[in-house]
Structure 1
């Protein structure tokens, strides 16, 4: 029932429900966009800092919710936040797959590709 109420509220605020993925709501303007992604009882807001604060305040006024800050882990994705962007990776998932197939103890080999360091600009 809460999903229906949330869905009605978001669409009344100009968000469009994604037909392929009903848990995603997108709101576009001339130069900005906002995404609300819902998974079970979690919600991720993706938008500019100004829009994020405004959307969170509106949602908190209409729904009982708690802000747990930036998402660090979601659906197997590990997320690190930086001032100039985010880094998304899946090393935990990779380790689980390697362990499942008894490949986690194998000696790694070098990979012939250039890897950019996070510290390099």
Structure 2
């Protein structure tokens, strides 16, 4: 068998995702079907928390299901959306509300899942929401003593 291009085969446990041109995908899928018992489920719609839409102009990834789950987990599902990712504030330590703890301020206790919220938001920022990366990074700076 002679190959002219290449395919990318992403394997997760017993699921395979093939990436390549239609001709290459067909050749690869037919070869794999001869070697292994497998089903072709068509274009991937959901994979490792990513929702995938195949459009004529390309592929659209989102994590709306994961985002809604995170909002429910941290009791933010009833919150009102904002057009700004975070309140615009000065980074001047004397004026910044995200500053380190000052005298008289209480550190949030373990009953407030600050680490978990930051981790969930970092996952979103890394995968499909780079627009929230700055805000999440700023909040993560104070993970050791959130106020």
Alignment correspondent of 1:19:
none
CA distance in 2, matches of 1:37, 1:43: 6
Query: RCO (CA 8 Å, sep 6+): is it higher in 1 or 2?
Result: 2
CA distance in 2, matches of 1:33, 1:98: 40
3-state SS of paired residue (1:88)? strand
CA displacement at 1:101 relative to structure 2: 0.3
- Report the TM-score when normalising by structure 1: 0.64
Segments ≥4 residues shifted beyond 3 Å = none
Aligned length: 84
Q: Which one of the candidate residues 55, 65, 87 is aligned to 2:38?
A: 65
Alignment correspondent of 2:56:
83
1:95 aligns with 2:74: no
Alignment of 1:1-121 (within 5 A): 32-111=5-84
CA distance in 2, matches of 1:64, 1:33: 22
CA displacement at 1:33 relative to structure 2: 3.8
CA displacement at 1:34 relative to structure 2: 1.5
| Greater share of residues in helix | 2
CA distance in 2, matches of 1:87, 1:33: 22
- Report the TM-score when normalising by structure 2: 0.53
Runs of 5+ consecutive residues of structure 2 not aligned to the other structure: 86-147
